[in-house]
Amino acid sequence: MASAFIPGQRFDLGLTVLSEEDIISFAKAFDPLDFHTDKGAAEKSFFKGLVASGPHIFTLVHRTQWIPLFGKTVLAGLGVDKWRFFLPVYPGKKILSAVTVQNVKANPEKKHAAVTWFYEFKNEEGALVQSLEMTVLHKID
């Protein structure tokens, strides 16, 4: 599978909806800011309501969707770049996720390739909520 990575190849990673409980639980563990953990404080914040921590949607989709598809070929992570947060993620809102192979630098002698993945997360209206590039070293045939 890893030898078949082609720039421009796109994979739909499905639909995710975070509940208030999901948001609060993740934030308490990893990003305990009031607008992630306290509904009352969040309503008085810049966001006017509870919002997910920036890394939450990526972390969840990466773990539940990307790793089952590509995890067996991973040798190492090489970096995350250009991680951008455009719009907040509110509880109960649908987030559509996709990842595209952006670049492949193969080393056939060593049987691996550095693959740069472009993740994008969009809301129900199709607006970009978040994006990032992640470069991973994969085994290839």
**Which residue shows structure tokens 């990842």?**
99
Torsion of CA 67, 70, 74, 79, to 10 degrees: -70
Q: pTM to 2 decimals? A: 0.93
- Per-residue confidence (pLDDT) for residue 3, from 0 to 100: 57
Residue-wise pLDDT for 18-37, tens only, equals: 999 999 999 999 999 999 99
Q: How far apart are CA 35 and CA 124, in angstroms?
A: 22
Residue 109's contacts (CB-CB under 8 Å, 6 or more residues apart) are: none
- Per-residue confidence (pLDDT) for residue 28, from 0 to 100: 98
Q: How far apart are CA 41 and CA 39, in angstroms?
A: 6
Residue-wise pLDDT for 56-87, tens only, equals: 999 999 999 999 999 999 999 999 999 999 99
Q: What one-letter code names the amino acid at 9?
A: Q
Which residue would you say has higher pLDDT here, 57 or 3? 57
Q: How far apart are CA 33 and CA 27, in angstroms?
A: 7
- Per-residue confidence (pLDDT) for residue 107, from 0 to 100: 95
- Per-residue confidence (pLDDT) for residue 141, from 0 to 100: 86
Q: How far apart are CA 102 and CA 79, in angstroms?
A: 14
Centre a 10 Å sphere on the Cβ of residue 2 and count the other Cβ atoms it contains: 19
Domains along the sequence of the chain with CATH: 2-18+52-139 (3.10.129.10)
pLDDT band at 139 (very low <50, low <70, confident <90, very high): very high
Centre a 10 Å sphere on the Cβ of residue 100 and count the other Cβ atoms it contains: 15
pLDDT band at 4 (very low <50, low <70, confident <90, very high): confident
- pLDDT of 1 strictly over 60: no
The pLDDT mean for the chain works out to 96
